[in-house]
Copies of this chain bind each other. A is one copy, B any other.
């Protein structure tokens, strides 16, 4: 297939969609969607977060996080308690069940990145990751 691509923008679209299909498949064995798995990872990493904290760190709309958390609470992965200092907000905490799947979900995520970068050298892969983080942080900072 000649000249598949010339644009970084299109590349990002392709990488997003492909990696999410892979990640969703990988998470299905734990009865989780990709979106739910990502939330589990970030909440476990921080131990406690508000919904807004998750929203800002993932660059998703707050309504998306609200819906995902409702599901995760129902399925026993998260606990929501009203914050005493600010009654508008919830403290979101992982359950033991969440901590149990954490390493496996993390592994799935790494596998996805490994797969898309399999023809890169270790140096290239590390540089790719560094630039991705840099661009993502800048993008989040831009509209907030």
Name A residues whose Cβ lies closer than 8 Å to a Cβ of B: 1, 3-20, 23, 38, 41-42, 45, 56-60, 109-110, 112-113, 115-120, 124, 127-129, 131-140, 142-143
B142 touches A59 (CB 8 A): no
User: How many Å lie between the Cα of A110 and that of B134 in the bound state?
Assistant: 18
B136 touches A14 (CB 8 A): yes
A16 touches B18 (CB 8 A): no
Report the 5 A-B pairs with minimum CB-CB distance, sorted nearest first.
A16-B16, A11-B136, A11-B132, A14-B59, A18-B139
A139 touches B19 (CB 8 A): yes
In the complex, what residue of chain B is closest to A35 when comparing beta carbons? B13
A8 touches B135 (CB 8 A): no
For A17, list chain B residues within 8 Å (CB).
Answer: 16, 59-60
